[in-house]
């Protein structure tokens, strides 16, 4: 019987520095680990610890997995110290991904904040793979400063794509910044979507998710059409260790993607 805790070795092929605190690691697993966009993996630093990450690469790219990691704790600190060529352990994928087929023929509004763009990049690349299936794709992205924007090299390419609209804001602009200034929710006032025909996908820091959701509700979006990528302390990944409980759900098994409808009555969801 398969041991759910056993790891697949993965070599860090390339490290891309996104911001002073965020790096993208391109991993090449010994055996391919097919995943659906929105699912996550557990990454082990051998002998040190394990942490959950949602791949930021396209699921159509089968030979490598990219994870974009912010220095935020014990394990991520260690990962940031690693160099190219280092071998880590990965297992997964876990959880449920985004129900892409439900979004066909709809306007898809993507709202991301900070490093929360990581899973959304994977999601976006998945949509772009079959871009004709969606009525509209709009990306609203917010970061603290222009320097804190991740995937800086991808934006120029994305901006050229037809079928993808991009709005960006920073909390604090510098002299070169020509886009919006303010928190990401201000972008939602600029975007006019057809409420009955749209879904919104949100990922970012809890405080940003809270206010984005509140804003979307104010604007008339239905809770069942708001998809939130929830963060909890996912550890085992298989719904047994209890650390990622969110009401009656385990985020690792029942999520990490939930509609606001599913979780709106649970206490302390925005922590």
Query: Does 3 sit near other proteins (CB under 8 A)?
Result: yes
* Ranges within 223-242 binding other proteins (CB under 8 A): 231-233, 235-236, 238-242
Among 248, 258, 260, 263, binds other proteins (CB under 8 A): 248
Q: Would you call 20 exposed, middle or buried from its count of C-beta atoms within 10 A (0-12, 13-18, 19+)? A: exposed
What phi, psi does 27 have (nearest 5°)? -105, 140
For other proteins (CB under 8 A), the number of binding residues is 43
* Nearest-approach distance from CB 40 to other proteins, in angstroms: 13
Query: Does 34 sit near other proteins (CB under 8 A)?
Result: no
Among 61, 190, 243, 261, binds other proteins (CB under 8 A): 243
Measured from the CB atom, is 9 or 259 closer to other proteins? Answer: 9
Nearest to 38 by CA among 101, 105, 87, 88: 101
Pairing of strands 40-45, 49-53: antiparallel
Residues 66, 74 contacting (CB under 8 angstroms): no
Pairing of strands 107-113, 136-143: parallel
Measured from the CB atom, is 7 or 120 closer to other proteins? Answer: 7
Residue labelled with tokens 């919104």: 200
Query: Does 245 sit near other proteins (CB under 8 A)?
Result: yes
Residues contributing to the site for other proteins (CB under 8 A)? 1-7, 44-51, 72-76, 89, 206, 231-233, 235-236, 238-248, 253, 267-269, 271
């Amino acid at each position: 019987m398969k041991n759910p805790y056993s790891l697949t070795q993965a070599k860090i092929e390339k490290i891309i520095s996104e911001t002073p605190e965020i790096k993208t690691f391109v991993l090449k697993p010994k055996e391919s680990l097919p995943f659906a966009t929105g699912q996550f993996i557990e990454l082990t630093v051998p002998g040190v610890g394990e942490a959950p990450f949602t791949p930021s690469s396209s699921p159509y790219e089968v030979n490598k997995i990219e994870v974009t990691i912010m220095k935020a704790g014990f394990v991520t600190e260690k990962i940031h110290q690693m160099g190219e060529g280092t071998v880590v352990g990965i297992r997964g994928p876990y959880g449920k991904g985004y129900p892409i087929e439900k979004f066909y023929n709809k306007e898809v509004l993507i709202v991301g904040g900070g490093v929360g763009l990581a899973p959304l990049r994977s999601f976006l690349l998945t949509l772009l793979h079959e871009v004709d299936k969606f009525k509209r794709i709009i990306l609203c992205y917010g970061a603290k400063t222009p320097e804190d924007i991740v995937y800086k090299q991808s934006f120029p390419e994305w901006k050229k794509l037809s079928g993808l609209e991009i709005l960006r804001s920073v909390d604090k602009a510098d002299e070169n910044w020509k886009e919006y200034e303010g928190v990401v929710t201000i972008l939602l006032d600029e975007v006019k979507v057809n409420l009955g025909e749209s879904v919104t996908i949100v990922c970012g820091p809890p405080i940003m998710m809270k206010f984005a959701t509140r804003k979307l509700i104010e604007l008339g979006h239905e809770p069942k059409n708001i998809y939130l990528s929830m963060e909890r302390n996912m550890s085992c990944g298989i719904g047994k260790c209890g650390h990622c409980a969110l009401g009656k759900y385990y985020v690792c098994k029942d999520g990490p993607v939930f509609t606001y409808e599913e979780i709106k009555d649970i206490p302390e969801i925005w922590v």
